Amino acid sequence: MSINASTENANLTRRNVLIGASGIAGLAGFSAALASANSAVSTTSANEGNRTMTSRIITRDGVEIYYKDWGPKDGKVVILSHGWPLSADSWEAQAFHLANNGFRVITHDRRGHGRSSQPWDGNDMDHYADDLSDLIEQLDLKDILLAGFSTGGGEITRYIGRHGTSRIAKAGLISAVPPLMVKTDANPLGLPKDVFDGIQAASVVDRSKLYRDIASGPFFGFNRPGAVASQGMIDSFWLQGMMGGHKNTYDSIVAFSQTDFTEDLKKFDVPTIIIHGDDDQIVPIDAAGRASKKLVPHAILKVYAGAPHGITDTHKEQLNADLLAFARS
């Protein structure tokens, strides 16, 4: 696997790039205007006591966190934490499915991502975990199924490490980055630091191109022989990524790749499911899903044969069914 290699997979002509960029730019402008309008209409004061489908909280250090609140108010709570450089929108297939089956589903945009504010500092796992804690506390959520995809898996793992499981009933790690992505003497199955340094460098040179290359290449497995690429998935990944802050997504590369979650995983004392594709080129399963299973021995490990990293889209029906079954168990 090499994320760097993904930059060689996009061979669009200049004319196609300009046409595609023009179309997506128009879509991005429309989406931003719509999000602003929705925020103005639907965000309510806590004193009003009305739960809306989208809203915001302010964290302990003054960061505004956007979140969606779907499904029945009295349903059992599921929180889904997204991956890099995405937003809550990346979970929409699972959130829609779970909400339609009676669960109250909360999905939030991590600080510096999506529609949340873009602080210059604090783009690290400790702050991500504390933001999640503030969201849970301010909404007074309990008995939660807490699941994270990719970087979001790191966020929920650090949350449990820092804040415990008093409000958590179950946990899910989906294509998740723990225990540690970067290669070290103690983690020989990790990826070389040069890989992540290269991603940061590519982000500085041309962040937009980096996101297109990742999405059109290894993220969804579209670089595999015989794969049929979905332009919709590629465009959605790109749009979500470009909504995030440049500095925030840049810093997050270090956060997701170089944070060691080993001790956090040892604190998992609730039913846990680990789901990972065995052809994940972004977060290889041996250093991630299988390694996490060793640290959380009571966890259920489900391996999706031939599946890439982005299983929330490529394997959404299978993932929807597995999450629903786990939530009901």
Choose among 152, 212, 154: nearest CA to 181.
154
Residues 265/157, Cβ–Cβ less than 8 Å: yes
107: amino acid identity, one letter: T
Interatomic CA distance for residues 117 and 313, integer angstroms: 26
Q: Catalogue the active-site residues.
A: 150, 280, 309
Q: Give the Cα separation of 237 and 232 in Å (integer).
A: 9
Q: Are strands 64-70 and 104-108 parallel, antiparallel or unpaired?
A: antiparallel
Name residue 182's beta-bridge partners.
Answer: 191
Please report the DSSP string for 66-125 in residue order.
Answer: EEEEES-TTSPEEEEE--TT--GGGGHHHHHHHHHTT-EEEEEPPTTSTTS---SS--SH
DSSP class of residue 182 equals B
